[in-house]
Amino acid sequence: MQLIAEDLTIDRGPRRVIEGLSFDVKHGEALVLTGANGIGKTTLLRTLAGFIRPFRGSVRLEGGDPELSVAEQAHAIGHTNSVKSSLTVIENATFWNAYLEANDHSQQRIDAALQHFGLEELGEFPAAYLSAGQKRRLGLSRLLVAHRPLWLLDEPTASLDAASSERLVAAVNAHTREDGLAVIATHLPLALERARTLDLVAHRMAA
């Protein structure tokens, strides 16, 4: 499986954010997007996720399900956690599993996701009572409650302490070991095993 972006040109209103960008991400690999704030990392991730239509260019997932869009084969986690405050931790995870794996409910997968992110003892807590870091970990547990070959992560370590960041890195490394793909925008160095870097500042200068 391979994510391929060709000649992407992306506008946000009157501003051209990215021009003529091409890259690929092979199975078992993470691509780390770097660059200063405003360079276009979030815009690029939102385009890969199908939330923004590029002015020119294309994105495709070779070797994926031809009946599904790239977005339908991806987990996209941005700056918000998409946590329902009125639901408990376990109810949030169960909802995501039911929504994302409509025909394959798995309590074992839900329990493993919460355990991986250190939330197993908070299962009955309403999400409204969680700290910022706990809410972020709950949001990230979506990565494990349902299988998607492509992970699109925008500043995933926001609100996480060092130990929680290590849990995230372990999840990404396990995903790539199993031939998954990831595209990650981050300002912090992550100890990823199979990663390349795409510097958007260097691309803009070259363009």
Q: Say which CATH number the domain at 117 has.
A: 3.40.50.300
Whether the pLDDT of residue 15 is over 70: the answer is yes
pLDDT digits (tens, 9 = 90+) for 18-59: 999 999 999 999 999 998 888 899 999 999 999 999 999 999
CA–CA gap between residue 181 and residue 148 (Å, rounded) = 9
Q: Which residue has the tokens 């809410």?
A: 135
The pLDDT mean for the chain works out to 93
pLDDT digits (tens, 9 = 90+) for 126-160: 999 999 999 999 999 999 999 999 999 999 999 99
Decide: pTM greater than 0.95: no
CA-angle at 180, arms to 175 and 182, nearest 5°: 85
**Number of structural domains found in the chain:** 1
State which residues form the domain around 156.
Answer: 2-206
Which long-range contacts link 58-62 to residues 24+ away (Cβ below 8 Å)? 58/5, 58/6, 58/7, 58/8, 59/3, 59/4, 59/5, 59/6, 59/8, 60/3, 60/4, 61/1, 61/2, 61/3, 61/4, 61/149, 61/150, 62/1, 62/2, 62/3, 62/4
